């Protein structure tokens, strides 16, 4: 399956609009905080230095900005960008949905715009598909078996870690706070545009699990979903690694409680797993099977077998 040129142009425009929304909010936060380094540390989870204002964005916003820009470029350059457009639209839809009930007019307006654009992106990716008919067109390639299985295993382990951490927090926190982590209640302090932490975990669990299953099956759309999962996995791991380095936690691992030690190890595992998934699936896929050769023009058909088989 390929994507028609009008659908590709429409998808690129929708992705550009999604990237513009994230860019506007990031520029607004830069104007409030006055320092790109402070904003980056806020995205990494360090909120102790904020005395001049509070960021409205979170780590999700620069990741969505990069993902939307990459999807727009893919739509302009490739006839096989349907999976990239669909993956970007689905993840954006899921991450911006909590903005509908978040406090603040800005979060609500942003959520409405992003949801409309993301839904349009999914519809465009589905409606713009067409089968490969011309002989010079090649279908999207499948990922190679070895890299696909390795990436699927890393994503499956990452999904399992998300489940284990949510089970840990469910046992450590009161029921009210546990519910607020998924709904964005008053007990959860977060950036205005950020999804609730439990909701984010559910989205990442669905993304990692879907990408892992698609990678194991070597589906043609697996590369787009796995690369998207790798970006989120690497970005989250990088943020956690930067925060642990800022507080010099690595040098005193022996003094840390068990939960903090596991959190530090999880950060490095997430960063390395995300980078590995990107490296495994960023290359070319398996070559398509060569079509059966045609006999040269003017050549007679092959002679029947002799002696002929029964019923020839």
Please give the structure tokens belonging to residue 279. 């490296």
pLDDT of residue 247: 77
Q: CA 272, CA 218: separation in Å to the nearest integer?
A: 22
Q: What percent of the chain has pLDDT over 70?
A: 85
Average pLDDT (81-90) is 92
pLDDT of residue 130: 77
For residues 115 and 96, the answer to whether their CB atoms sit within 8 Å is yes
Task: Quickly state the pLDDT bin for 67 (edges 50, 70, 90).
Answer: very high
pLDDT of residue 290: 47
Residues facing 229 on adjacent strands: none
| pLDDT 10s digits, 222-263 | 889 999 999 999 999 999 999 888 877 777 777 778 888 888
Indicate if the pLDDT at residue 273 is higher than 90: yes
Lowest mean pLDDT, pick from 23-32, 265-274, 286-295: 286-295
pLDDT of residue 46: 78
pLDDT of residue 292: 46
Q: Which residues are CB-contacts of 295 (< 8 A; sequence separation ≥ 6)?
A: 301
**Residue that wins the pLDDT comparison between 75 and 129:** 75
pLDDT of residue 198: 94
What's the pTM value of the predicted model, to 2 decimals?
Answer: 0.86
Q: CA 171, CA 174: separation in Å to the nearest integer?
A: 8
pLDDT of residue 285: 58
Average pLDDT (2-22) is 92
Indicate if the pLDDT at residue 286 is higher than 60: no
Average pLDDT (266-272) is 94
Indicate if the pLDDT at residue 173 is higher than 70: yes
What are the angstrom distances between the C-alpha of 256 and each of 144, 220, 253? Answer: 42, 44, 5
Average pLDDT (93-112) is 91
Phi, psi of 177 (to 5 degrees): -70, -35
Q: CA 183, CA 205: separation in Å to the nearest integer?
A: 17
Q: CA 168, CA 176: separation in Å to the nearest integer?
A: 15
Please give the structure tokens belonging to residue 181. 């982590």
Q: What percent of the chain has pLDDT over 90?
A: 54
């Amino acid at each position: 399956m390929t994507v028609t040129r009008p659908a590709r142009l429409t998808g690129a425009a929708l992705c550009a609009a999604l990237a513009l929304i994230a860019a506007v909010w990031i520029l607004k936060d830069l104007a409030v905080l006055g320092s790109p380094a402070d904003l980056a540390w806020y995205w990494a989870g360090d909120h102790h230095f904020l005395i001049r204002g509070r960021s409205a964005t979170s780590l999700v916003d620069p990741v969505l900005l990069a993902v939307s820009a990459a999807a727009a470029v893919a739509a302009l350059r490739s006839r096989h960008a349907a999976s990239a457009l669909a993956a970007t639209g689905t993840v954006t839809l899921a991450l911006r949905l909590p903005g509908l009930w978040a406090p603040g007019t800005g979060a609500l307006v942003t959520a409405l715009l992003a949801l409309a654009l993301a839904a349009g992106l999914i519809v465009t990716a589905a409606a713009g598909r067409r089968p490969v008919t011309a002989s010079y067109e090649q279908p999207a390639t499948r990922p190679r078996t070895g890299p696909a299985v390795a990436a699927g295993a890393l994503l499956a382990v990452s999904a399992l870690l998300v489940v284990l951490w949510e089970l840990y927090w469910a046992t450590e926190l009161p029921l009210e706070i546990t519910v607020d982590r998924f709904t964005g209640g008053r007990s959860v302090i977060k950036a205005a545009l950020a999804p609730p932490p439990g909701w984010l975990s559910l989205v990442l669990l669905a993304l990692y699990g879907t990408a892992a299953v698609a990678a194991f099956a070597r589906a043609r759309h697996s590369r787009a979903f796995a690369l998207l999962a790798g970006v989120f996995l690497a970005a989250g791991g990088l943020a956690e690694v930067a925060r642990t380095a800022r507080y010099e936690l690595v040098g005193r691992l022996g003094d840390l409680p068990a939960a903090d030690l596991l959190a530090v190890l999880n950060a490095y595992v997430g960063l390395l797993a995300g980078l590995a998934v990107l490296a495994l699936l960023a290359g070319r896929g398996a070559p398509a099977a060569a079509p059966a050769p045609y006999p040269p023009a003017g050549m007679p058909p092959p002679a029947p077998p002799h002696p002929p088989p029964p019923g020839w």
